[in-house]
Chains A and B, each alone.
Chain A
Amino acid sequence: MSARLLLVVLATLVTAACATAPTAPPPVAAPPTPAPVARVAPPPPEPVPAIFKSDDFIVVTAKAGDTAESLATQHLGAAAKSWMIEDYMGARAFTAGQRVIIPLKPWNPTGVEANGYQLVPILCYHNLGPQAKGRLLLGASQFEQQMRYLKAEGYRVISLGEFIEWMEGKRQLPKRSVVITFDDGYRAFREFASPLLKELGFTATLFVYTDYIGAGRNALAWDDLKTLAAEGFDVQAHSKTHGDLRRAKDETEAQHAQRLQVELAEPLKLFQRHLGRSIDRLAYPYGSADDDVVAKAKTVGYVAAFTVRRQGSPAFVQPLRVNRSQIYSEMSLEDFAKNLNVYHQEDLR
């Protein structure tokens, strides 16, 4: 008790001394300075937080009520960068007087550490409807439950573009990053997914195969895709016909090469023509690809391509064999959560 009193008095005295220094400008955003002479301890004011800064870090002393968001706004220029503080400190909110380390640049671009490495789960959905039907058509309420779970558990839904930049070493990602993708191009996405995703501040990538666009009764049309792209959803390729891209038994090498050319190059042209922009990401139909398919996809101009191997991907995954986890209608929320592993533990010392 007496120790605390002593501390308050000392702090007050020193702060007062410094505040009266002739050349000192008034402190920025500081709590009211206590009266110059304080005999009796006033209600204890928080000491003005210290700021130390280097090229790599800022070290600040938190005020009461400081959060990763408030500190990110103040020191990193954007609340959206709060994940940097949150991940570095392992906390979202801070107590008055706590020293907070704010990294100014990516401190671990690949997320590989001495005790394991970061994984980014990429979820793969297909169709949605009022009721589940078959494995690949999820009920809207089940999907909503899963999305709200992501939000509540602090997962950060990032765009596929951000994931690719991570693979390329161009950015670091929040620790609990997740990507959402939808295959084929079902109309139900507009009805059941996009409003909810927007509400939650999530985004998604649609992999559509071009023969289906505007074809089936349940298919999205080019106009839908244009709208979705304008709303910030990423629209990418899923081949032309949705045929297995690997060479069939009765196919000659030349036939296969020709078929691959059509399957992989045609979508590029069509996207350019209908949406006025190029694409560079591919989801393999059925998730299947072998070395030939991968090589061809690369030649044609895809920078990232996606399978359906059920696991998250590290930053050093092969860019044309990125994993995705298909979400089935029979999965319970617990089963769903098993697809959200964001760290692979392994002693790498």
Chain B
Amino acid sequence: MRKHVFYLISVLVAILELILFFWALGNGTPLPFVAGLFLGIAVIYLSRLYVEEIIEDERVQKIREKTAYSTLQISWIALLAFSLWMIIEGSAGRFNPELRRLGIFGIGLFMVNAGMVIVFILLFFYYRKQYGE
């Protein structure tokens, strides 16, 4: 498969996902969209395997690794600050249900952030073992 065909498939999948998203939004049913999202990702992943031209080499991988790590670091800091801000804001209004909900959401966001850190540490140890330790 040519590189251009792969890009065309990717764009088509993206358009279909967008249509499905708005359809799900109008109907209030998230399940078809989530299923379609996984299917779309699978289609892109599988079609990528059949591309004959080179679209990824060690330099692209290195760029991706550095970009991913920097994005993760920025996301951690931003999420942590945002979640703590919501927790503090929420704790100020114990008797206000709106602010209370904000605080609970902040705690949830903080837990997601902590989960990301745990996944990172587990993967770090996994790859450290894989690359000789």
Chain A partners chain B: no
Listed in ascending order, the chain B residues whose CB lies under 8 Å from chain A are: none
Listed in ascending order, the chain A residues whose CB lies under 8 Å from chain B are: none
